[in-house]
């Protein structure tokens, strides 16, 4: 079973690959951005499953999913994410994704899910898909624009301004301005404090 795992965080990618390759018959190729993902699909034999990190560079959200699905043809493509919510998961499945995997899944569950999707089935964890989105009506969230939420998500994951800029396709100076605005709106002393406030509030 040939898997392409695309994620820009080396530790996540290596850890997931190690779990999968412990299984008999699994071979895992890796990519760290959308460009490498496309190149791997174009130059290798068809993969049985492509796993895409929702936040990696060049993805541009669900647009990246659609592009890779077109490139992969009939082969299944699934989303993995540490931050995307139930709404994103539902939209991905509606677009035809093979599934949605939260990075918080237990290793054994992840391996079983990958096997399931590689055989042509759809997968999304029931507890995740049926959970209430507690952050959707949070008063803090209502104060922030979509762009500010994207930048705040990057802060919560410890990304530098340059990494956030690359991920959301903005200029670094624009990200800096968003960080300043976020600190003001959240009454935060600095970017770290802003991330702590967001996490404590359950926004991410």
Residue with the bigger pLDDT between 63 and 141: it is 63
Q: For residues 160 and 178, what is the distance between their CA atoms, to the nearest angstrom?
A: 13
| Torsion sign (Cα): 24, 93, 65, 165 | negative
Indicate whether 175 pLDDT > 60. yes
Give per-residue pLDDT as tens, 111-167.
899 999 999 899 998 777 776 554 555 677 778 888 898 899 889 888 899 988 888
pLDDT given at position 132: 55
Pick the CATH number of 2-130 from 3.30.930.10, 3.40.50.2300, 3.90.1170.50, 3.40.605.10: 3.40.50.2300
Please compute the mean of the pLDDT values over residues 188-199 and round it to a whole number.
91
Contact in structure between 87 and 128 (CB atoms under 8 Å): no
In the chain, the percentage of residues whose pLDDT exceeds 90 is 50
Pick the CATH number of 139-200 from 3.40.50.360, 2.40.240.20, 3.30.1180.10, 1.10.10.10: 1.10.10.10
- The mean-pLDDT minimum among 16-20, 81-85, 185-189 falls in 81-85
Please compute the mean of the pLDDT values over residues 25-43 and round it to a whole number.
94
The residue written with tokens 């959200």 in the block is 61
* Per-domain boundaries in the chain: 2-130, 139-200
- The mean-pLDDT minimum among 137-146, 159-168, 179-188, 195-204 falls in 137-146
pLDDT given at position 99: 95
Quote the tokens at residue 147. Answer: 């762009």
pLDDT given at position 133: 52
Q: For residues 2 and 47, what is the distance between their CA atoms, to the nearest angstrom?
A: 5
CA distances from 158 to 111, 161, 200, 201 (A): 27, 10, 15, 17
Identify the CA nearest to 30 among candidates 46, 9, 64, 7: 7
Q: For residues 108 and 119, what is the distance between their CA atoms, to the nearest angstrom?
A: 17
- The mean-pLDDT minimum among 24-28, 68-72, 134-138, 174-178 falls in 134-138
In the chain, the percentage of residues whose pLDDT exceeds 70 is 95
Contact in structure between 151 and 179 (CB atoms under 8 Å): yes
167-176, 180-189, 191-200 — most confident range: 180-189
Mean pLDDT, all residues of the chain: 88
Which of the four pLDDT bands, split at 50, 70 and 90, describes residue 185?
very high
Count of H helices and E strands in the chain?
Answer: 11, 5
């Amino acid at each position: 079973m040939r898997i392409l795992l695309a994620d820009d965080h080396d530790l996540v990618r290596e850890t997931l690959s190690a779990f999968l390759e412990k299984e008999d018959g699994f071979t895992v190729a890796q990519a760290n951005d959308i460009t490498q993902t496309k190149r791997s699909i174009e130059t290798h034999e068809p993969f049985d499953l492509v796993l895409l990190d929702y936040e990696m560079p060049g993805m541009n959200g669900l647009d990246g999913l659609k592009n890779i699905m077109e490139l992969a043809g009939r082969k299944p493509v699934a989303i993995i994410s540490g931050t995307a919510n139930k709404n994103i998961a539902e939209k991905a499945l509606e677009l035809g994704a093979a599934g949605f995997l939260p990075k918080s899944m237990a290793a054994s569950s992840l391996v079983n899910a990958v096997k399931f999707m590689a055989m042509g089935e759809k997968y999304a964890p029931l507890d995740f898909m049926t959970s209430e989105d507690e952050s959707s009506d949070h008063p803090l969230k209502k104060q922030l624009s979509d762009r500010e939420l994207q930048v705040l998500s990057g802060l919560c994951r410890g990304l530098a301004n340059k990494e956030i800029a690359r991920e959301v396709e903005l200029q670094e100076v624009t990200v800096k301005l968003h960080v300043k605005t976020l600190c003001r709106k959240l009454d935060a002393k600095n970017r770290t404090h802003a991330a702590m406030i967001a996490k404590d509030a359950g926004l991410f």
